[in-house]
Amino acid sequence: MSTKVCVTIAESNPRKIVRDIESALTDSNYVEIRLDFLKPSQIPFCLTLSKKHLNRCICTVRPTTEGGKFQGTEKERISILKLISEFEPHLLDVEYNTLRKNQGLQKYLKSTGTNILVSWHDFVKTPNEQTLRLMLQRMSKFSNNIKIVTTAKTISDTIRVLSLYKNHTKKINLVSFAMGDYGRMSRILCTKLGSPYTYVSLGKPIAPGQFSLKEMKSILALEDKN
């Protein structure tokens, strides 16, 4: 596939995660490991088990305030983010609000040379274009890998979030699309506009509107024929 895909894996068993990683990477470019689906005590074991694959993995530890399932304290989560950086994943997904509030984490990740994917999600709406562009500008201070995801309730919402690709600097690796039924097509269109990859699931969607790897492969195969 010319379009790159990243398979999101969200499991509560470390060994199952590793099996899914190995399965997913046979047909995809990257894997996103949602480590927040594990108990905090299981995360170091999971990282160790999956170490040889981490150069193709995006590691995410999403807190409940950002739509995730992490069960520990914020102090624990920050410690885990630091631990993940030592395993040198392809990307470490850290929320914009986390980086903005935690200078200590910023400095630590800079000292380890960690490739950060700074992310921001709006689970309720899609803000106006000015707000989205301001967010992109603020996020670019932390990394040139940026993920902006909103919730689309109309086609106009989807067009607005995709408009971020217009005139954006090529120095920024921007992943921007919308969740929900109205945003579904943006998960495909984003890759045509400059996104380095799009997120898919192995089976059931992890996020609203997400395609499965099988569905995405079928869609892209049809495009290649045309």
How far is 226 from 220, CA to CA, in rounded Å?
10
Burial 27-59 (b: 16+ CB within 10 A, else e): ebbbbbbbbbbbebeebeebbeebeebbebbbb
Our answer to whether residue 121 is catalytic in this structure is: yes
Our answer to whether residue 53 is catalytic in this structure is: no
How far is 98 from 175, CA to CA, in rounded Å?
19
Which residue is catalytic, options 69, 147, 153, 170? 147
Which residue is catalytic, options 82, 121, 125, 225? 121
C-alpha distances (whole Å) from 172 to each of 87, 143, 145, 175, 177 are: 24, 8, 6, 9, 15
Which active-site residues does the annotation give?
121, 147
